[in-house]
A and B are shown apart, each in its own frame.
Chain A
């Protein structure tokens, strides 16, 4: 990473902290969601059943997959929005001149 431009370390730290916070929030939500979907509220046994384990594995894989897809779509939309805004701004600036 020698070729990297000098970055504000405090800013980088802030971004990292935010990322970690978001990750742990996502993790907690995922745990709650998969618990709700995979573990029936009958606790006759303290062990995870085979079906429950498989369900959890799939639930996590799917949750993370959806998380990624939605993130991609959101960034895509925000990029589109930004482009649109820029175009509108330049158009507005050009209008009074013509």
Chain B
């Protein structure tokens, strides 16, 4: 007789998959066993084909809510060669590590309704217990060290189950059956509160005490799920300014956590899609427009019309809000700018010395650091700004690309991303596992975190070797250096990928397209000609790309300092025009903008000389630099203290304009390449300013001419190539006004406008694009 060996890949561990199967099989009266095998599930059935097929049909229907089946394979094996229980039953047996499949453990999810009920029920033994979780909710990725996903491979292993928990854990009919992170007050993690001198504060309820301190205006560092938050009140400028000073973040907007949707609606405008995202089990931060009733301190998100909001996701947060009447708290990652969030208790106490007033810590180790995810809707379409907690490590399924033979399923690829908003991607068996947010790899600790996170991802995906390592083309990115090191270590090819090509490939994949024309508008991406691109019209079929049009190449006197101080960019751009030459330009700058130059008149002169001598001058077609220049021309923003600051403030400044000013885009050609003349845009803007037009309207017109100019170039390109899909990618497309204007023009010309849906418009998805392209190149 034959027996059926059924292998299930997907999100099948740590989600109550085995008990579900147990229940189905018992109801059908079948015999056999089930076990976790490496990172997949193996079901053995001692039954014939009909019964096996019935079982599979029911399984697909009745699988647990948060599980996901990517594939089910059935092999028929000779009975004599297989172990199975002799007593005519179905059993769940010990896990085995010996198979390497392509499944993955689920991400960390918000508390479920059942658990929420328990922590609110004063008669329940988990009443107000902040680490309550079950098979349907809570921590997963952040606590796992290896697969199979069993408690002994997580940091919950530090907490042996008490009798009551053990009983739940071993009862297949309980919802905590094999809930690997289950615990209770008796056996699980606990909280401790410390003051800034690292002394423990004696209190029976550290959380309640901490909230009281918060409401007195203190800054609290609180260790949570994937990292640590710095928390303070939202309506009081004083603690916020204190926090800004201590973190050296003078302007960067802080995100807030609110108790529930109703409350969030009191200070923001929430669309139905946004509400759905806020309430989703992934609980990302959603960028929302401030409402008319918004009354938080100005210093919270200065000069912006929107604010990042998330709702409570862990029991810890729910209980925190039980102790206060505040509508929301600032919840910002506890890290030195660009460095990883702190996750170790000792580190939190020592490295945040002088930043937090109090520290609320728990004793559960965080294995995989995971920042809050951030999303923004533009034109009612979701894009990730950061895809991390709640989503990582769920892979992208590349089946479409495999079917069309764009990429080869059997390749293992590691792609390391760009530099500042780095994620990495591990591609294996047709699945692309994009890592959690890693950060700015220019910082040493982040660079180390990257390497550690790669190691952990290799563990949980059981990946030993790579066929290729992909990286950015930028010769100085640390990720490029690391790619070379790893290429040597794994004895495989290193494939540098052009930055915007990677952006475009993700966009194509995200929309299941084989090819498209796309606008890549962002801050910086190293181009094949050695200059810095970022306002490009390109074509890609994933495997290859063509650069077909762009913004005018502009000089960046001093390289990156022109990004930090955009007035240098403005000077450089205006110096190209016939209108503003020599002394005229100098006097314009010194009478209106000299305070934006660190060294005033001397610098105005030296920038001009630098432009002429080409000493340390970069060349860029970046859209970000044009938006920065418009912002500084309008006196909106003179220094970039956080990524995207000037263009974000420009968008907010222009928000609500009626749109009655218009700047006509002008085009020319350089070496046969169509160019949107950005010098003319700035000249026109300066004219409107000197004519004393309304500045809000000028800002709106400036954004619009950039969007339409790019859109016109894209439409021209697409019609010449006979392609109907025009995409938009790059960080600039987080800007809603720009996205809407581009979409409007593209659609009015009869083309299909393609946006990111389930990926980042910005650099968070660049590693994914690199991976797709690399695997198509060595296909």
A interacts with B: no
Write the residues of chain A forming the contact surface with B, with a CB cutoff of 8 angstroms: none
Residues of B within 8 A of A (CB): none
